[in-house]
Amino acid sequence: MVESACTECLLKDSLVLELLKPVKKWLLHGKVSSNCTMLHAADILSGIASWESGKRLLLYGENGQYLSDNNKLYDYHYLSHNKLKPHYMIIIILRGEIYSTSPHDCTGFAEQCLDSPSESDLQVCPPRVVIGAYLSLCRQLYNNCEGLQVLYPYGLHHFVASAWREASRETEMGSTPTMDGGALGSPRSTESTNYSALMWEQTLVDHLLNFAGTRRR
């Protein structure tokens, strides 16, 4: 009853597009919304993905317009942008209309964040807590064979693996004693940084193990 009412009222492409605006703004223009805004959007999208009907909305669109048995309806074009690598987002041109789909945006955002330095001249990368929230959203989308089939071609697991190796090196460097017997900065701040790096490493390992354990069929 409740899910039926929510499906009728909330599971709309217009809502999803509104929730993805902070992601699109960062992907296309390098503009970061507030952490609170991005976390709230990820939380709502994760709530939608927790329903089977909501997951199908995110994967295929309200009317299934992101997927068709007749592949001739689709023309896939890689979006070229001076801050985007080609595979980060795919624009689907369908019957003359342009769609940027939820899986494309979410995986594109997660991949570029994982592949980017924390800060560059072009854009500032969101903090790890935000990246982790969108990784968890992607995880909800690919946690069955149907969702995995949609997300697998993006190779998100390769980016997670690369970020994990980097986080592992960061953790090892943080735990290595320095020549003067200490580390730069106060002991408390150093301990906090090391703990943050360790938690991030464990988060990435958890995502990799979950991906490896997802049923393919």
More reliable by pLDDT, 106 or 76: 106
- Is the per-residue pLDDT at 61 higher than 90? no
* Mean pLDDT score, 55-80: 57
- Residue 176 has what pLDDT? 52
Compute φ and ψ for 7, nearest 5 degrees: -60, -45
Q: What confidence tens digit (pLDDT) does each residue in 170-200 have? A: 888 865 554 444 445 555 555 566 778 889 9
More reliable by pLDDT, 16 or 181: 16
Which two tokens mark 55? 């997951």
Angle made by CA atoms 28, 158, 126, in degrees to the nearest 5: 40
Q: Which of 110, 109, 129, 127 has its CA nearest to residue 118?
A: 127
Q: Which of 3, 33, 4, 8 has its CA nearest to residue 134?
A: 33
Please tell me the distance from the alpha carbon of residue 53 to that of residue 60, in angstroms, as a whole number: 10
- Residue 204 has what pLDDT? 95
Please tell me the distance from the alpha carbon of residue 213 to that of residue 62, in angstroms, as a whole number: 29
> Which residues are 99's β-sheet partners?
92
Which two tokens mark 23? 């992601």
- Residue 147 has what pLDDT? 87
Mean of the per-residue pLDDT values of the chain: 75
- Residue 202 has what pLDDT? 94
Place of tokens 């709502």: 44
- Is the per-residue pLDDT at 78 higher than 50? no
C-alpha dihedral (168, 136, 90, 148), degrees to nearest 10: 100
- Residue 5 has what pLDDT? 64
Write down the pTM of the prediction.
Answer: 0.77
- Residue 96 has what pLDDT? 43
Number of helices (H), then strands (E), belonging to the chain: the values are 10, 3
- Is the per-residue pLDDT at 99 higher than 70? no
Share of the chain above pLDDT 90, in %: 31
More reliable by pLDDT, 158 or 8: 158
Angle made by CA atoms 106, 163, 50, in degrees to the nearest 5: 35
Compute φ and ψ for 78, nearest 5 degrees: -80, 135
- Residue 130 has what pLDDT? 94
Q: Output Rg (C-alpha) for the chain, integer angstroms.
A: 19
Contacts of 182 (CB under 8 A, 6+ apart): none
- Is the per-residue pLDDT at 44 higher than 50? yes
Q: Are 56 and 30 in contact (CB under 8 A)?
A: no
Compute φ and ψ for 98, nearest 5 degrees: -105, 130
Angle made by CA atoms 14, 110, 73, in degrees to the nearest 5: 50
- Residue 133 has what pLDDT? 96
- Is the per-residue pLDDT at 76 higher than 50? no
- Residue 97 has what pLDDT? 44
Residue 149: which pLDDT band, with cuts at 50, 70 and 90?
A: confident
